[in-house]
Copies of this chain bind each other. A is one copy, B any other.
Amino acid sequence: MLLRSLVPLLFTLLAAAPFCVADDGYRLWLKYDVVADAALRKEYQRAAQFIVAGGESATLKTAAEELQQGLQGMLGKAVPMVGEEKGRKGGIILRTDAAAAKNAPLGPEGYRVFTDKQNIVITGRTDAAVLYGSFALLRQLQTRQPLTNLALTSTPKIQHRLLNHWDNPNGTVERGYAGSSIWKWYELPEVIDPRYRDYARANASVGINGVVLNNVNASARYLTAEYLQKVAAVAGVLRPYGIRVYLSVFWAAPKTIGGLPTADPLDQKVRQWWTSKTDEIYRAIPDFGGFLVKANSEGEPGPQDYGRHHADGANMLAAALGQHDGLVMWRAFVYKADAKGDRFKAASQEFLPLDGKFAPKVLVQVKNGPIDFQAREPFHPLFGAMPRTPLVLEVQLTQEYLGFATHAVYLAPLIKECLDADTHAKGPASTVARVVDGSVDQHAVSGIAGVANIGADRNWTGHPLGQANWYAYGRLAWDHTLTSQAIAEEWTRQTLTTEPRAVATVAGLMQQTRSIYVRYTTPLGLHHIMGQSIHYGPEPWLAQSDRPDWTSVYYHRADSEGLGFDRTATGSNALKLYQPAVQQLWGNPQTIAPDYLLWFHHVPWSQPLSTGRTLWDELCTRYYTGADSVQWLQQQWASVRPQLDAALHADVAARLQTQHKEALWWRDACVLYFQTWSRRPIPAPFTPPQRTLADVKQLVDLYQLR
């Protein structure tokens, strides 16, 4: 009897064999713990008695193995692979079917999962589609959905769904807060860290199909024969999961490793060098995805060094790709140091004139907002403004400006806010999402990029809830019509608990995190007032830096009259970069949503807002209620303790403590600093900070020390 009672436990342990028993977060959302509900488990067991892999390709075998592993975990018993069903019922049949598109517009990656003759059939036009369908089926089980009369159909709306790693050859990750890089360049290609495969599994499970392995501030190392062997080794692990490898390129590589005297994109020898190098890459990695380029930005070299423009550079690389099936993703994140200018307009100034000048294989990669991954930004004015150029949306999953790995910030609402924003480029409903997926301008190619929040920390993302951002990014890249709430629930059920009340509580608090973070850091449209260089903590007083547009005062423009950056016609007129409908929406300080107010208007402290409070009182109210709301997050989190793994719960609870402490830094730093301009009291019912501005400055400035 004792032995018998141990068996389910043993199965759980065995099922998790490649993983860790302790719930240390390594398994991500692919936990595959045994289904506790015996009736449901039985139902699942009846529906999954065997698997027919349907082919010998690496990707089909991978799909079948993933099903086996997941089912063994959740059902508590091994599910055999069989050659063919031979009239048997109650199994899962994988079937790549080039004609599957007849029944539904699946595209190359879309899948159908349906019940047929009492079997579950997973089909699609390609092996990768079947792999995605297999993960969709596993998700059904993980979220405890019924398996009867299945009819799941899904097609990705965006073709190229990438993670961008800002990982350096020395093993550090720029803006990484989850340990070192998972890529062990010194050990490759001989040592293949088992983690690479688990990384691929996680990506494939949410539909990510491309990975840029190295930082946009790129080293030329990656283009050497030595490093291409290493890259090829990684590509070999990712390939069966439908994931292609891309590289960030160092523009001056023809000089540093090619021995040429120039990197001018119109120089014939330079062009030949890139063509040969590209051919060499494709010999090593036949399904290489292409190049990501940061050029003439923040000190990186680029075609402008030779009097050429971005399109000259991008088109040269497109020419080098030639007949190879690869792309160039050219970043629009450029801005020149100009104390009198407005960084908001910089990318538009450089790129708008180039619309229509880019070769077919080139996509321009644009951050969600015009400045730099702030907690809330208006959508980038390039979206909708370059109809002849496919634009890749770049969002940041690593929380560079959102509290590193100590603040809980669920990013799906941020990403959705951008995706759902209406550019009005071709009339209403010309959302950023539809610009990016190509439907507004009828582009044949589309892409999206998330700057990874992944490191070698055991749990991948440092903050356990950071895993949800990786997950949500993948799900939204696949289908931008999904809601943040639905994704949060789905992730929670797979990762934390299936208990309905706890799921609702966790997803509910996740949904609030981003707006809470905005309130206690940069409410009402404030932006870029964080600590310099490391971007940690508040530093609204920052007035001196290597560049004027790296200070805080450049952005908030506080003075004795008011606060905010006038980007209307009386100011920088950046607003004019948007369509008239958008200008109308945001041009009037009385009608613009308060969340965006100070992005576009310099508003008097005493100005009453639509909220019924003056600017100053509203500002203080948001800082105070924002910080207080972290306590609400703590209470919500505390309430689900019985339903969650104890160690994981304690970890997040401790991080919420840190978050509350730092929220109070932000609140006190900002209200005390802005008070030196507004000269108004903290409004009731809020208690003025107990510490002085000097106290807070000293506290947060120490994080700037070497």
Q: Is the beta-carbon distance between A194 and B647 smaller than 8 angstroms?
A: yes
Segment of A11-19, A341-349, A409-417, A469-477 in the binding face: A11-19
- A457 vs B13: C-alpha distance in the bound complex, in angstroms? 23
Q: Is the beta-carbon distance between B706 and A219 smaller than 8 angstroms?
A: yes
Shortest Cβ distance from A91 into chain B, in angstroms? 25
Given contacts A177-B186, A256-B705, contact A22 B18 (CB under 8 A): yes
Chain multiplicity (copies): 2
Given contacts A221-B705, A654-B192, A706-B219, contact A13 B3 (CB under 8 A): no
- A655 vs B177: C-alpha distance in the bound complex, in angstroms? 28
- A613 vs B257: C-alpha distance in the bound complex, in angstroms? 40
Q: Is the beta-carbon distance between A226 and B699 smaller than 8 angstroms?
A: yes
Shortest Cβ distance from A281 into chain B, in angstroms? 16
User: Which residue in B3, B405, B456, B657 is a CB contact (below 8 Å) of A3?
Assistant: B3
Shortest Cβ distance from A170 into chain B, in angstroms? 7
Interface positions, chain A 361-410, Cβ under 8 Å from B, are 404-406
User: Which residue in B172, B226, B651, B702 is a CB contact (below 8 Å) of A702?
Assistant: B226
Q: Closest B residue to A168 by CB, please name it.
A: B706
Q: Closest B residue to A704 by CB, please name it.
A: B221
Q: Is the beta-carbon distance between A22 and B20 smaller than 8 angstroms?
A: yes
Q: Which B residues are in CB contact (< 8 Å) with A170?
A: 534
Whether a CB of chain B sits under 8 angstroms from the CB of A306 is: no
Interface positions, chain A 1-34, Cβ under 8 Å from B, are 3-4, 6-7, 9-10, 13, 16-22
Q: Is the beta-carbon distance between B187 and A406 smaller than 8 angstroms?
A: yes
Q: Is the beta-carbon distance between A10 and B6 smaller than 8 angstroms?
A: yes
- A693 vs B496: C-alpha distance in the bound complex, in angstroms? 57
Taking residues whose C-beta sits less than 8 angstroms from the other chain, chain A's interface range is 35 or more
User: Which residue in B21, B192, B257 is a CB contact (below 8 Å) of A20?
Assistant: B21
Whether a CB of chain B sits under 8 angstroms from the CB of A73 is: no
Q: Is the beta-carbon distance between A191 and B221 smaller than 8 angstroms?
A: no
Q: Which B residues are in CB contact (< 8 Å) with A706?
A: 219-220, 250
Q: Is the beta-carbon distance between B21 and A16 smaller than 8 angstroms?
A: yes
User: Which residue in B169, B405, B657 is a CB contact (below 8 Å) of A186?
Assistant: B405
Interface positions, chain A 596-644, Cβ under 8 Å from B, are none
Whether a CB of chain B sits under 8 angstroms from the CB of A658 is: yes
Taking Cβ atoms with an 8 Å cutoff, the residues of A that contact B are 3-4, 6-7, 9-10, 13, 16-22, 169-172, 177, 179-180, 186-187, 190-192, 194, 219-221, 224, 226-227, 250, 256-257, 404-406, 455-458, 462, 534, 536, 647, 651, 654-655, 657-658, 661, 699, 702-703, 705-706
